[in-house]
């Protein structure tokens, strides 16, 4: 393949990442005026966490339990092409669908979201993806579908972490159907304008910004519509500490540590954790009348 390069452009002509991202932020902010999704632009004080941090500090236990394990072991091991997703359960159009066919009808969007880990740290990530709410209706869920269950790939040949029985593989997560259909819920395929790095859950992951990070399941191979509440891997591992909802809530502590504050990666002092990770205006209505201490 011949690579043509314009002789009049040098390295220094490449738009600086900050400027480039500034433009994206501007576009995101501008488009948020048109669309009913106010969370598209990062609010003031939420500068995106550098790509280097987002792609080297990961919890992806299938590739090891150390924060730096996934970045070391996932790239080159995780095979993301071809990729398909098995869709099933309570829906009229089940079947296995290739990644390209899954995404083709939809226009990718950029969403800058806060990500709050249950361990007490947080990031701001510019994701690319499609709203799950646009994808799910294509499979025509029946009236019996009340929850959506997602499953991560579990292939010991690709994932060295599976040998350690740290969790009950494959990794399973779930959402109530109305949570899955909420406009903030994103089926992400990229971050920082490029394809998802393997360690961030390539090629397809969920992003549910008002819930603790582990709800945003990575490397999805199965989506099932179900009638009863799915049991997630963390609920199985420790039902006392991890509930189905796992909404970010500074008033409901993890049994072993406080959730009142968080350390934003790149910052020294802890900052206060916000109710529903700062998305209360958009999502609090989903939980009206619920006791969030009981349904944690």
Partner 1 sequence: MRRGLKPLVFAACLLPLAWLAGRFWLDDLGVNPVETVNRFLGDWSLRFLLLALAVTPLRRLAGWPALARLRRMLGLFAFFHVCLHLASYVGLDLFFDWQALWRDVVKRRYITLGMLCFLLLVPLAATSTDAMIRRLGGRRWRALHRLVYPAGLLAVAHFWMMVKADIREPLAYALVLAGLLGWRAVRAAGTARQRMSLHSADIGS
What does the alpha-carbon distance between residue 201 and residue 195 come to, in Å, rounded to a whole number? 10
Nearest approach, Cβ of 3 to partner 1 (angstroms)?
Answer: 34
What does the alpha-carbon distance between residue 216 and residue 182 come to, in Å, rounded to a whole number? 14
Any idea of the CA torsion for 58, 64, 67, 70, to the nearest 10 degrees? -50
Output phi, psi for 146, to 5 deg: -120, -20
Q: Is the peptide bond before 120 cis (omega within 30 degrees of 0)?
A: no
**What separation in angstroms does the CA of 257 have from each of 81, 91, 250?**
40, 40, 11
Nearest approach, Cβ of 265 to partner 1 (angstroms)?
Answer: 5
Residues that bind partner 1 (CB under 8 A): 52-53, 56-57, 61, 65, 67-68, 119, 121, 164, 166-167, 237-238, 253, 256-258, 261, 263, 265-266, 268-270
How many helices (H) and strands (E) the chain has is answered by: 8, 12
Taking the least distance from each CB to partner 1, the nearer of 35 and 237 is 237
Nearest approach, Cβ of 166 to partner 1 (angstroms)?
Answer: 5
Nearest approach, Cβ of 221 to partner 1 (angstroms)?
Answer: 22
* Residues 194 and 187 sit within 8 Å (Cβ to Cβ): no
Nearest approach, Cβ of 111 to partner 1 (angstroms)?
Answer: 22
Taking the least distance from each CB to partner 1, the nearer of 54 and 188 is 54
Taking the least distance from each CB to partner 1, the nearer of 68 and 100 is 68
Taking the least distance from each CB to partner 1, the nearer of 61 and 287 is 61
The full DSSP string for 189-238 is EEETTEEPPGGGTTT-EEE-TTB-GGGS--SEEEEEEESS----HHHHH-
Nearest approach, Cβ of 152 to partner 1 (angstroms)?
Answer: 15
Taking the least distance from each CB to partner 1, the nearer of 61 and 210 is 61
CA 147, 40, 106 angle in degrees (round to 5)? Answer: 60
Burial class for 156, CB neighbours closer than 10 Å (0-12, 13-18, 19+): exposed
- 241 CB-near residues (< 8 Å, 6+ apart): 234, 254, 255, 256
Nearest approach, Cβ of 87 to partner 1 (angstroms)?
Answer: 29
Taking the least distance from each CB to partner 1, the nearer of 4 and 269 is 269
Taking the least distance from each CB to partner 1, the nearer of 13 and 272 is 272
């Amino acid at each position: 393949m011949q690579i043509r390069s314009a002789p009049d452009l040098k390295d220094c002509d490449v738009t600086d990442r900050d400027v480039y991202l500034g433009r994206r932020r501007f576009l995101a902010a501008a488009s948020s005026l048109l669309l009913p999704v106010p969370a598209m632009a990062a609010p003031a004080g939420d500068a995106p966490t550098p790509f280097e941090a987002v792609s080297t500090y990961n919890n992806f236990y299938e590739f090891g339990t150390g924060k730096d394990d996934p970045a070391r072991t996932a790239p080159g091991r995780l095979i993301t092409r071809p990729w398909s997703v098995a869709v099933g359960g309570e829906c009229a159009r089940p079947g296995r669908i290739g990644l390209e066919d899954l995404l083709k009808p939809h226009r990718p969007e950029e969403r800058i979201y806060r990500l709050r880990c249950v361990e007490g740290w947080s990031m701001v990530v510019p994701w690319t993806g499609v709203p799950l709410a646009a994808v799910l209706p294509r499979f025509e869920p029946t009236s019996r579908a009340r929850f959506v269950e997602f499953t991560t790939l579990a292939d010991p040949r690709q994932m060295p972490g599976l040998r350690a029985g740290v969790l009950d593989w494959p990794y399973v997560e779930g959402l109530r159907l109305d949570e899955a259909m909420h406009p903030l819920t994103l089926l992400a395929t990229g971050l920082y304008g490029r394809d998802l790095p393997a360690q961030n859950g390539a090629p397809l992951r969920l992003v549910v910004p008002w819930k603790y990070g582990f709800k945003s399941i990575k490397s999805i191979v199965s989506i099932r519509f179900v009638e009863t509440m799915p049991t997630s891997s963390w609920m199985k591992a420790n039902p006392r500490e991890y509930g189905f909802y796992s909404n970010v809530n500074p008033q409901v502590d993890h049994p072993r540590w406080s959730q009142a504050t968080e350390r934003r990666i790149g910052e020294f002092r802890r900052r206060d954790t916000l109710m529903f990770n700062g998305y209360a205006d958009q999502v609090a209505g989903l939980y009206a009348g619920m006791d969030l201490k009981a349904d944690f």
